[in-house]
Amino acid sequence: MGSHSDRTPSLAIWQDFHRLKTPTVNQLDNIKSHLDLVILALEAIANITSDSILNAAQKLDLESIISDRVALWRLRQSNPLRNSSGGRKKLDVEEARSLVLIICYLAQQEQELLRRAVSLLEQIASQNKPPHQTALLGDYLDKFINLYQERMELQQEITPEKLSNLALKLLVDLLFYSGNNGHRLLWLAILNQ
């Protein structure tokens, strides 16, 4: 069993978060949407489940923020793009920071898979072939599009091609978030939307 310091996000990471800009109330809606889409991409590429997210929260000592499936479900339902029966929870800054840490932790765990997928994407793009012709990328795109269509309120202008482009962009982003400064990159990305 690892020491407490092995699990807890380092003090330096928390201090880094506090040096970075804090989002406005209006930005929090965009942040909710973006973080949920990044998690959706992780689910699609690496079969990340609610249990995976809860285990990551526990390993990072974030159970006080994401304690169980219900708390996680409420956070995910806070995304204004999601199908919902109403009663959306407001996402606060600490919850957003916690989700960023969890996403980056899970991306680090799946870094090898993410590298392979992005390398394959680069390879297939250089050959001017569609990504869905490869098993890994085809499965990822199908799963991402299916999850998106199942969980999000569909807007008329979102075509499967646009969803595929979104999925591929998120895949590349996840590789960046899997690095040592992933939390910083993701935080800055969600603030600069």
**Dmax (CA) of the chain:** 50
Per-residue pLDDT tens, the chain, 193 aa: give them: 344 444 455 556 655 666 666 777 677 777 888 899 999 999 999 999 999 999 999 999 888 888 888 878 777 776 667 766 454 567 788 888 889 999 999 999 999 999 999 999 999 999 999 999 999 999 999 999 999 988 887 766 788 899 999 999 999 999 999 999 999 999 888 888 7
Number of Cβ within 10 Å of residue 17's Cβ equals 19
pLDDT in tens, 59-103: 998 888 888 888 787 777 766 677 664 545 677 888 888 899 999
Q: Tabulate helix, strand, coil % of the chain (nearest 5).
A: 70, 0, 30
Long-range CB pairs of 64-70 (<8 Å, 24+ gap) are 65/94, 65/95, 65/98, 66/95, 66/98, 66/99, 66/102
Nearest C-alpha neighbor of 124 from the set 133, 136, 135: 133
- Rounded distance, CA 15 to CA 3, Å? 21
144 with 167: CB under 8 angstroms? yes
What residues contact 167, with CB distance under 8 A and at least 6 apart?
41, 44, 140, 141, 144, 145
d(CA 42, CA 6): 23
**Smallest Cα–Cα separation from 70: which of 83, 47, 56, 53?**
53
**pLDDT in the model for residue 16:** 63
CA–CA gap between residue 42 and residue 25 (Å, rounded): 26
Which residue type does 192 have?
Answer: N
Burial class of residue 88 (count of CB atoms within 10 Å of its CB; 0-12, 13-18, 19+): middle
